[in-house]
Structure formats: C-alpha cells, structure tokens
Structure 1
C-alpha cells in the first residue's frame, strides 16, 4: 500500500464556519487568517485534547483562584476518559482546579462538551468524538474531525489523520495469516507502516510532555495492529502463533502519506559493523547504552557466561557471579526494550555486587536485543517518544510469553542460580500515553497513562509475605533517600492525583507509589519490579532513573545480607 492524502486543513468545505482538526495552533491560525482575507469568517479548533488546547490557546484561567472543570461521562466509555484528556492542565493553570463529572450522550449532529467555570463565568468547550466499531468488533468512542456549516449543522469530517489510521487498520485486517511454515510462523518478519504527518511536536511546560500527533499515531497503530491480528487468530483458534515485528515508523513530513510493506529478515549488522565506544563511567551516563557497550560491561564482570539467541540472530547474554555467598539475587533489565534505564541500573549494581563479593547473582541486562535495536532505530528520528513498537520481542510477543529464542534466557539464569529474589528493572512513559483513535485510554494499560514517578511492584509466593514486605520497605527507603528521585516523584504525583480519581496503588510517605501482592506464578519466591519514568529521557532525567534502579538493587541486597 502506498498512498498520499490531501491535507484537510486546506480542503475544508466552502460553507464551513467552524471545524475541529488534528492540527497545531499556528497552522490553524494561518488558515483562519487566509479565509478572513477572502471575507470569510472561520474558527478552527483542535480535535485532540480540545479543552487543553482551548485553555492554552485562549489563555483561559490565567490569574484566577479557582477553576471547576465539568467533564462529560458517557455510557459505554471509560468514565474518566474526558478527565484524563485534560492532563496536564492542573500544572498549567494558576488557580486550584477541581473536576465534576456530568452525564452526557453522543448524538448525531451534536457533540458532548466540557464546561469550564471561572469566577461564575461558564464556557462550553466541545469534544469532537464519534462511536465506531473497531476491526476487533469493539464499540469505541474515538476522537474525530468535525465541521459546522453556515446553517449550523454539524457532522463528522474525515481527516488525513484518521484516514491514514483507518486505511492501515484495514490493511492489517485483510493481511493473509499464513505462517512461513506450519510449525512456528511468523506471518511476516517485519510489517513496516511508514507514515508522514505534517504536524510537528509542540512541547508543553510540564516535564517532558508534548502534543505529538506523530507519537499518538505510532502508539495507536502499533497496539491496534497487534489487537487486530490477535483477534483474527483467536477466531481461528490459533491464538498462540508467532506474529512478527510490527513497526509503525511515523515521521514529520510536508505531505500526509502511508506506505505499508513487508520486509524480509536478514542477519543483523548492528553489532558486527559497529565499534564499541568505551564508557568512561556508568554512574553519570546520560544516554542508553549500545548493544556492544552492554556486552563489554558484561565481559568486565568475568563471571560464568550463559546465552541464548534472539529470533533475529542477536546474542542474549547473561552472567553468573557465584562464590557460595548466602544471599542470592537474579537481576534483569531490557525485557521491554524501550525501557532503557534498567539496562544501565542492572550493570551498575552488578559491578558493585561483584566487588563486594557477599552476594551471588545472575544478571541479564538486555533480555530483548531485537526490540532494543528497533528502539535505537526509532529514536534516530523521534528521540523523545515512547516507541512501544520496541516493547516486545520480534515475535510480536512479550518475552515472558515465549518458549524459544530470547525467552530461554530466564530459564538459563535460574539454572545457574536458584535465587531468593528477582530484581526486575523496568520503565514506563515519562509523559502522557494516549490512543486517541481507539478510545484515548490505552487498552490494558490504563494504570500507566500518566507518569507518577519511580514506582515499585512487589510480588511474592505464598508464605513469603513477611520477608517481601521487609524488602519492599528497604526499596522504598532507597527511593526516598535519593533526593532527586524524591523530588521528581513529588512533582509527578502532584500532577497525577488531581487528574485521576482514585488509583490502583498505595503511596509510601506520600512519595513512593507501590503495589504489594501475592503471585505464585513468578519465577522466584519474591520479585521486585522497578518502574522508572524513562520512555524516553536523557541527561539528568536518565541519570536519576538508572541511579534509582541501582539504589533499589543494592538496598535489597543489603537487607538480605543482614
């Protein structure tokens, strides 16, 4: 498939008086002025996060003490969806912001709306959405273009943004599901979905947040493509088959375009053809490591090497350092390859534990090298995006769901050492994560849509609750004792809680969010998962992330050694 699309902004119906488009403010403003020069009145709004854009563009709420936002709640939709769409508005307004839910409906020709109340002044702000049935037969309330004509009649307006998405979804829905062979698939090596969008990222004045149609398209298409294929396989009772690597590569371009192709796998050249740049100090690293740098760091541990091979042919390496010590740890990173700070944290902790000599451990710092190679590729054009297409292995599955290739590394580590505790180092988005064309809230990841600082998850087998609680407390204190991380947590939670009504986690001392639960399905009796807001950050923020991973690992080791 190879298509170009007319830009809706320049092809509005002649009788338009008001419209909502997926366009940044400056582009809309220029077109308004061009129409005014021809004697036509035109008002253009943003179809994505409409209330936030209205506040930003109209400077509403500046200098007022209190702001009440009444948001629509629509039957069949995520109840907090329109409240979440306001993020990060509480950090952008001067006054205290409170929210009130209001029952609403979506009817033909009409839009649901917010009401923003400031000093007894009420302003309505429309939220352009429509009900659709997805390719997985789910009813979804999705963001859309909208147009009002001179007679005051409103209707859905197809835009290049949702047209590209819909065409890509149709392609995936029609894709033949014939594996390369009957035994192991996959259906394709790499499904490339190349998209050009003439919509630059617009940074916001809160953390690393930005308005990014490019990132939103990447996220929506990647997970929707996975869902469509898995839905089709499930209908055929073939749900366990290998998919292949889905890669939406969305970039800024002057003209909207869509190119879909299936690429054949070739042996990776990213390791063989590159020279490893030596790392002067892991402690002050401001950037993710290259695969060769990871290999060099592992070799420096001089432990017992064990390895698997990824589906694309890259080495998946682990190292065991065993001296007969009473404390036994398993350390891993890079399971989800776009979560890159854990790779550094794992290696830093391994070097210190090696020097101390009082802990036996295995370390597998980069469990998903195929995903990691894709992550680095995607970062070349969009360095600050989340890049969830690199989250899973090149089989299209989470590493823990596989039974071959890189998935074998966990079993190999356990064969080397029956550890007491698994330190599983992860990350999550450092800014808001949305899927506007499939319901806004990422399906299956509702808890991770807005950053809330460095997060801890502790899971334990039956009979290990008391010990797990002690180790979790040690991890919590390690985070609280790190001033830079403590401050980041406080700031992120201050922006999180006003937006989210209720949460799935507890907060220790008002600083460290965590979850503590029994789970007999983990590989080791106790598992502590660290979640740093690291998708995708650099500089000081990256250093804070890997320093926190590192401190948690050492705190748990110290507690076990008592």
Structure 2
C-alpha cells in the first residue's frame, strides 16, 4: 500500500447525546466511557426530560464511585469484597481499585475476594465512619466476555444500560470506534512484512484526562485507547503471520495511534511514509537539571562533547545512531539507553554518567545514549499532544521490531552494539530502561495488558541482571553491590517504599530485599556475559520527578561501573 492511502474513516454519534434524545423511562442507570463533566451534563439533560438518571463510568467503576458518589468525609474503614469471574485475569478487580488507598489515606481499606461467579461483577462494600455509622453498598462493574485479538478469552469493561430495572448491554461510541477500527485494519490486504512504513490512526475523543492526587496517576481514556489499539494490532498481526504471542521480531512498520481531544468521536486510518523530519519542540536544558526528555539535537551535542573515538550506525529510516568509545586501563563497560524510545530518563542518565566517568583517569567504556532515534522522534511528536501519556507506539524501531530481537538484515540500529563490543571487548553491558510511571491498562482487551501483567503498576526503581551459563555468582554479586550503593540514596529508598507498599495493596507482591526488586536470570543469547538492565518508572514523568529518574539512572551506571572493576571474575578473561 502506498503512502497516504486512506483505509478507514468514521464518525460516531455520542452515546449519551443519543440517550438524552431517545431514552423514555422514569429511571435510568448508564455506564459509558465518558469523563465526569460529560456524564453530569447528560444527567441534567435527562432530568429536563423527566428521566431520573445516574451516568457512571464504565472504566474503573469502583474508583469513580469513591470519587463521585460515596461519602468519603469521615470514612474510617472501607471493607471491599472484589468480584471474581472465570474469564478475568486473577486479581483483576483488585487492580481496578488502584490507587484508592493512596487517594484516601485517612481510611483503612481492606480488600478481599468474593466468590467466583459468571454473573455481572459487583463490588460489595461495608463502610464504617468515624461517627460510628455503618453503610453497605454495591458497585456494579459491567463487563462482557469475548475473544481478544490474540485469540484468548477476555473479560472487558463495557457500556451498560438499566432502564426502569431492565438491564441490557450498550455498545458505546468509544467501544464502537475501537472495534470498527480493528475490523477495518484486519480486513485490509496486507501482503507481508513490512506491511507499511507508518499506519496512522488519527482519533479524536471528546474526553478529558483526570489527574489523581497520587504521583503520576490519572484517568485517561485517550491513553487507554492508544494502548489498546497499538497492542491489539500487534496481537492481530502476530496471529495473522503465525508468530507466537509476545514475539518482538515482527516487522510491521510503525503503528501510530494519535489520540487527541476533539469535539466528537472520530477516526481516520491511513498508510503513510515514515516521518523523517527533525524532531523539534524541546528546548535546550542543563543536563543535570533536565526536567523533560531531551531534544534529539541536544543528545547529539552532549555526546559530541565527550572525549573518545566516535562510531555510528544508521537507523532504518536513516537517522544517525551515534556513540563514543573511550579506551582506558579499567575493565570495559558498554553503556546504552533508548532501546525502547518511550523510556525517556535513560538517555539523560547515561550522558551524565559518561561525563562523570570521562573525567576519571583510566576510564574504559562505550556509550550510545539513544539506540532507537526513529522511535524517539515519534515519541517527541506524539508528546506534543500527550506529554503525560506512556506512548508505547514509540517503543520499538521504525520497522516495528525490538532492536535487541533483530537477527536478520537490515542490521541498522542493531549494528551499534556489535561495534561497541568489537571496540571494547566488554564483559558488562549496562542498558538503561524504564516502564510506566502510572497504572497501565487496556480496558477493551481484558483490562490487564496481555503479556505485561507484572508491569501494570509502578513498583519503584529495580534491576534485571541477565548472565551467561556459569556467570551466576558474578551476576548476583554485581546486583547486590549496585543495590548497596543505591540504598545509600534516601530519597530513592523512600520513593521505592511508597510505590511497593501501594502495589502490594493491589495484589502485586514482588520480592524486594532491602527495598529494591532484583531479577536475576540465565540467558545465553546476549553476546556479553553480563547484562544489567535498569528499570525506572519514568514513562510520563516531567519536572522534578523526571530529574529524580535520571539521577537514579546516573547513580546506577556509576555504581555498576565501580562494582564491576572490583568484581571477582575468577579466571575469566577480562578485556
């Protein structure tokens, strides 16, 4: 398919507008994917027609019940029995309650699981107040069972209507837009990989994000739709081309949902050429105080200021992938960031660490601060309209694959690592990564992101250490040495403790000795015997939280470099 070809276009009348016009009953309860102001306006419009209505959120209904309906003043105890459904991911409805305990810290939230049932999911509440009053309440959570785009069974939030006591499913504007878009793209005559350069899905939604009073948390139906379209399409094409679920080598091209606020629900899908224009918009920042992701031009300029031997590769779309090699007498370390381009604190942390190391006599390392410039350029483009969104469409390369999983030509971005290893002979690769700084959901595909169950809630800064067979002991020693250094940073320790405590309230229970999760696994695939991956919850951060993120990344690089110099490697050869 050629550049600019229109695949699908549609507008959707607002569900609540239609109901306000057509609904004839005395009482109504409506669940839709709309923001609170839109739902309150619909209630008033229905009241003017003699319909006593309550318009609720189909997305995170328990959270919205506490925000909009339940009396929280004087609330002392909230005992909540979460529903269980055979088609839902275990613990799913407890996840949906996130982050209630953080929003109402004076109340003691006590969660439990009810009996498994195929009936409509319902939360059952016992609310105790400081006055001694006790109230009981139920909060329905309308859901529908269906097959998702990976072919599995899912249970997803859905529109629902109860009029004068009679209940029925209600396909909302939000759901119809998603389902029709998926059907239209699936029906197109894709011939093989790559299917396109950019599959652009331009959507407008008359829905505003709602910030919550806890960290980076927000209710964002726009962000949720971006995530659901992007990952559902990957799952569809994995099935279509016979790839296993979770395969990261699929080369579709860039799938780009651009979700913006607009006056109506509308979608336009077309195939475009890659956007090769320079990514602008970000102003120059002092590196150690950077409060937002750096401009591509600043990353290149900061790298050029470092001493050492320059080397480079080219991205699939033709952007330079630049790096430096600083030879020295120390044990060599490869340092990289930006493999997943929406994980934005890594490039800053890597550059800052490299500046510090370059001032040391004998320092020996390679640095590539941005391995995926095509993804980063897309991330900057999308952030112009949605700076607080995760923007996973920018995660992979312009081919649509994860560069670490690229094993066939063109080598392109992947070549920068091969050059770094040839130049340095490093035995340790420190790869800076990030993950969502707030809850990650896919409400139209089972709510919990398929294949990413452990990444749905932030759980602090943590480490993943992969090692070759026979390297388990050095890997464990390295992980503990790095964590010992990080544990000296009181702000980071407090940050981790708060995130871990809240995640555990919602069923995410990682082991974190000393306040830091560490995952150590044998993996013979990397060319380097030790790979240390940092994971900071940085997606969506700006301001002081972003500065804290890249400071943690910088600290981890320095800690890993220093620990590796003294690591007992036995009789293993060292570069």
User: TM-score normalized by structure 2?
Assistant: 0.91
Secondary structure at 2:505 match in 1:
coil
The 1-side partners of 2:559 and 2:14 are apart by 55
Aligned position for 1:182: none
Aligned position for 2:491: 484
Aligned position for 2:233: 225
Question: Of 319, 322, 339, which aligns to 1:317?
Answer: 322
Aligned position for 1:548: 552
Question: Of 378, 382, 386, which aligns to 2:386?
Answer: 382
Matched-pair contact (CA < 8 Å) for 2:30–2:54: yes
Of residues 533-542 and 366-375 in structure 1, the stretch that sits farther from structure 2 once superposed is: 533-542
Q: Which runs of 5 or more residues in structure 2 are unaligned?
A: 1-7, 129-133, 567-575
Residue 327 of structure 1: how far off its partner (Å): 1.5
Matches within 5 A, 1:313-392: 313-323=318-328, 325-392=329-396
Aligned position for 2:418: 411
Question: Of 298, 307, 310, which aligns to 2:303?
Answer: 298
The 1-side partners of 2:439 and 2:357 are apart by 35
Aligned position for 1:87: 98
The 1-side partners of 2:244 and 2:445 are apart by 24
Question: Of 238, 243, 257, which aligns to 2:252?
Answer: 243
Q: Is 1:101 the equivalent of 2:113?
A: yes
Residue 240 of structure 1: how far off its partner (Å): 5.9
Q: Is 1:52 the equivalent of 2:63?
A: yes
The 2-side partners of 1:368 and 1:239 are apart by 15
Matched-pair contact (CA < 8 Å) for 2:125–2:138: yes
**Relative to structure 1, is the Cα distance of residues 508 and 89 closer, same or farther in structure 2, using a 3 angstrom cutoff?**
same
The 2-side partners of 1:392 and 1:235 are apart by 17
Question: Of 51, 55, 76, which aligns to 2:87?
Answer: 76
Matched-pair contact (CA < 8 Å) for 1:172–1:228: no
Matched-pair contact (CA < 8 Å) for 2:282–2:294: no
The 2-side partners of 1:236 and 1:556 are apart by 34
The 1-side partners of 2:471 and 2:444 are apart by 43
The 1-side partners of 2:154 and 2:52 are apart by 33
Q: Which runs of 5 or more residues in structure 1 are unaligned?
A: 180-184
Aligned position for 1:127: 141
The 2-side partners of 1:530 and 1:32 are apart by 48
The 1-side partners of 2:468 and 2:138 are apart by 52
Q: Is 1:170 the equivalent of 2:183?
A: yes
User: TM-score normalized by structure 1?
Assistant: 0.93
Residue 121 of structure 1: how far off its partner (Å): 2.8
Runs of 4 or more above 4 Å deviation? 235-241, 274-279
Instruction: Report the RMSD for the aligned CA atoms in angstroms.
Output: 2.0
Residue 275 of structure 1: how far off its partner (Å): 11
Aligned position for 1:115: 124
Residue 463 of structure 1: how far off its partner (Å): 2.5
Q: In the TM superposition, what whole-angstrom CA distance separates every residue of 1:41-73 from its partner, at most 9, and x where no partner exists?
A: 111111000011001112444423322111111
Matched-pair contact (CA < 8 Å) for 2:86–2:118: no
Q: Is 1:466 the equivalent of 2:473?
A: yes
Aligned position for 2:3: none
Of residues 368-377 and 412-421 in structure 1, the stretch that sits farther from structure 2 once superposed is: 412-421
Residue 483 of structure 1: how far off its partner (Å): 2.4
Matches within 5 A, 1:183-262: 185-234=193-242, 242-262=251-271
Secondary structure at 2:240 match in 1:
helix
Aligned position for 2:29: 18
Of residues 206-215 and 73-82 in structure 1, the stretch that sits farther from structure 2 once superposed is: 73-82
The 1-side partners of 2:473 and 2:72 are apart by 49
Matched-pair contact (CA < 8 Å) for 1:61–1:118: no
**Relative to structure 1, is the Cα distance of residues 204 and 239 closer, same or farther in structure 2, using a 3 angstrom cutoff?**
closer
Aligned position for 1:422: 429
Q: In the TM superposition, what whole-angstrom CA distance separates every residue of 1:117-164 from its partner, at most 9, and x where no partner exists?
A: 1235321110010011234432211111000122x2211101110111
Q: Is 1:264 the equivalent of 2:273?
A: yes
The 2-side partners of 1:293 and 1:122 are apart by 57
Residue 474 of structure 1: how far off its partner (Å): 2.3
Aligned position for 2:170: 157
Secondary structure at 2:75 match in 1:
coil
Matched-pair contact (CA < 8 Å) for 2:281–2:295: no
Secondary structure at 2:438 match in 1:
coil
Residue 347 of structure 1: how far off its partner (Å): 0.8
The 2-side partners of 1:315 and 1:157 are apart by 50
Matched-pair contact (CA < 8 Å) for 2:149–2:233: no
Matched-pair contact (CA < 8 Å) for 1:455–1:531: yes
Matched-pair contact (CA < 8 Å) for 1:46–1:53: yes
Question: Of 516, 520, 524, which aligns to 1:520?
Answer: 524
For these two proteins, the number of residue pairs brought into alignment is 545
Of residues 70-79 and 370-379 in structure 1, the stretch that sits farther from structure 2 once superposed is: 70-79
The 1-side partners of 2:459 and 2:564 are apart by 28
Question: Of 445, 456, 468, which aligns to 1:449?
Answer: 456
Aligned position for 1:139: 153
Residue 489 of structure 1: how far off its partner (Å): 1.3
Matched-pair contact (CA < 8 Å) for 1:54–1:60: no
Secondary structure at 2:528 match in 1:
coil
Question: Of 535, 544, 557, which aligns to 2:539?
Answer: 535
Q: Is 1:398 the equivalent of 2:402?
A: yes
**Relative to structure 1, is the Cα distance of residues 144 and 276 closer, same or farther in structure 2, using a 3 angstrom cutoff?**
closer
